[in-house]
Every structure is written in C-alpha cells, then in structure tokens.
C-alpha cells in the first residue's frame, strides 16, 4: 500500500474560510441590502431561515471543490462519483444544521439584531463552516 501524498489541509481550510466568508458577504448584501438597519430573525427579514441555504451551499461547495482539486493535484484514485456523493452528504448535513439554527432562532424569539452584527455573524459562520467541512472532506480523502 502506497502512502497518500501530503496535503496542507490547514492551508486549504484557511482558503475555504476566506472564500466562504467572501461568498457569505456577497449573498448577505444581495439579500439584506447595504443599508444598516435592524434585522429580524423571523418575518419579514428571515435572518434565521437564511442559515438553511447558506449552510447547504457552504457545505456542498466546501466538500466538492477542494476534493476535486486535491484528487487531481495528488493523483488520487477516488472516483468523481464518490466525491459527488460525499459532497451531497455534507450538503444534507448542512441542511440539517441550518434547519436547526433556523428553528433555534425562531424558538428563542430573539430580538432584532444590528445589520453590522448580523453581517459579522454570517461571515464568521460561513467561513467557519467552510473551513470545518473542507478539513473533514480532505481528511476523509487522504486517510
């Protein structure tokens, strides 16, 4: 059995953090606008519900893209089908996590949050989830 070439997983996770935080910024501005105002967790802003699509997208792309790049870079004999199935599994996990966060924010009946605080929260969440999923996906591939 040959050893799997080394992959700088921590570095890849850092890149994943930056990419997902940037994408979270773009979507946040697109959905909630650029005007600083209090945002509600439920209707009408649905900040809590936004955790669902954010979690799905971050989990899917953080598992899929780094895995496909690592597969090619390292010449790993892992099928694209396997990578796709794993990525969809992570996306389902992201949907569950996002749903739990949406439910929790609704159940807690949280007061509105400042626009800047909401932005910081969504950037930190998207980046951190991206780094975690990238780490888990790449560790799974290279063990």
Extract the tokens encoding 51: 């955790």
For residue 17, being part of any structural domain is answered with no
Domain limits at 83?
46-142
What backbone phi and psi angles, to 5 degrees, belong to 122?
Answer: -70, -35
Name the percent of the chain lying above pLDDT 90: 88
Q: Give tens-digit pLDDT for 69-94.
A: 999 988 888 999 999 999 999 999 99
For residue 129, being part of any structural domain is answered with yes
Average pLDDT, the chain: 94
Q: Alpha-carbon distance 74 to 85, whole Å?
A: 20
State the pLDDT at residue 1.
45
For 35, the 3-state DSSP assignment is: coil
Q: Give tens-digit pLDDT for 105-124.
A: 999 999 999 999 999 999 99
Domain count of the chain?
Answer: 1
142, pLDDT greater than 90: no
pTM (2 d.p.): 0.91
For residue 110, being part of any structural domain is answered with yes
Cα distances from 88 to residues 45, 55, 83, 126, in angstroms, run 28, 12, 9, 18
For 139, the 3-state DSSP assignment is: helix
H-only helix segments in 33-114? 51-74, 80-107
> Dihedral through CA 12, CA 15, CA 20, CA 26, nearest 10?
-160
Q: Give tens-digit pLDDT for 7-51.
A: 789 999 999 999 999 999 999 999 999 999 999 999 999 999 999
């Amino acid at each position: 059995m040959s050893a799997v070439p080394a992959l700088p997983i921590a570095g890849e996770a850092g890149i994943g953090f930056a990419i997902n935080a940037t994408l979270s910024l773009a979507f946040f501005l697109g959905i909630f606008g650029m005007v600083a105002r209090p945002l509600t967790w439920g209707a009408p802003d649905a900040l809590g519900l936004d955790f669902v699509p954010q979690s799905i997208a971050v989990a899917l792309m953080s598992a899929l893209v780094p895995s496909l790049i690592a597969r090619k870079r390292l010449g790993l004999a892992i099928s694209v089908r396997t990578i796709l199935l794993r990525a969809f599994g992570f996306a389902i996990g992201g949907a569950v996590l996002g749903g739990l966060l949406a439910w929790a924010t609704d159940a807690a009946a949280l007061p509105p949050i400042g626009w800047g605080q909401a932005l910081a929260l969504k950037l930190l969440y998207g980046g951190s989830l991206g780094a975690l999923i990238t780490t888990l996906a790449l560790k799974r591939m290279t063990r």
